[in-house]
Amino acid sequence: MLLESYLRGKLEERDILIMTHIVLGYPSFRDCFGIVRSMVEAGVDLMELQIPFSDPIADGPIILQASQKALERGTTVQACLDFARELTRTFNTPFLFMSYYNILFKYGVGDFVSAMAKRNIQGAIIPDLPPEEGHDYLEAMQKHRISPIFLFSPTSPDRRMDYLASFARSFVYCVARKGVTGANTDFSGELSEYLARCRKATHLPLALGFGVSQKSDVDKLRGKAEIAVIGTQVLRILENGGADSVGEFIRSLR
């Protein structure tokens, strides 16, 4: 996969990578472009583009509110696809889609994956689509050489991790704790033990998300995970200081 090669190359230069997350259409597509530019210039390594959905079951109140506002302002799946094309033509940073299966189902799974390929989207995170129910999705992703990103959680048994890893490509997203995005995470010995289990299950780079919000969190992940995922905190920074403050925040994580 092209994305895995990119990540391996970046990891020869840095001991941990930064992945950020935005909700497409929030506060507006114009604002989104400025936020993306600010983060790219600050040195972010890859980025999740969330297509807003009315019932984002994995997301906490901040991302939920952003999704609701984006939908209220008329954000559509097609508008997100068109905007993604603009981003991939402008920036060299890899972009992934994050959304929920209903979006793919309504659009048509094969057509949606084809649309991703035409826009040079490198991967997708669909948290409510397990491999057992994703045959068409996985087949289409393989055909277009796009990486399906699967999630481990602290409650995943070792056998389940091994199973998910057999379908994963490029990296695995390790959810730091039970619950939704945005809450605090205890970066303690228990988390280290969990990441050790994740490491045993896959040779792929590990991304750790849910609760990473400051440099000290990123520092605690060095040597345990390859990618720190910053999601909700980006929205908090954006609300308080705008796109420029987001770039400053990303620089501070290094």
User: Is 48 one of the catalytic residues?
Assistant: yes
User: Is 59 one of the catalytic residues?
Assistant: yes
Give the pLDDT score at 187.
60
Letter for the amino acid at 153?
S
C-alpha to C-alpha distance for 152 and 206, rounded to whole angstroms: 10
b/e map 35-48, b = 16+ CB within 10 Å: bbbbbbebebbbbb
Q: Which of 4, 55, 59, 86 is catalytic?
A: 59
Give the pLDDT score at 182.
39
Q: Which of 4, 31, 45, 48 is catalytic?
A: 48
b/e map 63-101, b = 16+ CB within 10 Å: bbebbbbbbeeebebeebbebbeebbeebebbbbbbbbb
Give the pLDDT score at 189.
67
Give the pLDDT score at 190.
84
Residue with tokens 């087949």: 139
Give the pLDDT score at 49.
98
Query: Can you read off the two tokens belonging to residue 154?
Result: 């602290």
Alpha-helical regions (H) of 167-231: 189-201, 215-221
pLDDT tens, the chain, 254 aa long: 589 999 999 999 999 999 999 999 999 999 999 999 999 999 999 999 999 998 877 777 888 999 999 999 999 999 999 999 999 999 999 999 999 999 999 999 999 999 999 999 999 999 999 999 999 999 999 999 999 999 999 999 999 999 999 999 999 999 986 444 434 556 666 888 999 999 999 999 999 998 888 999 999 999 999 999 998 888 999 888 888 899 999 999 98
Domains and CATH numbers, the chain: 2-252 (3.20.20.70)
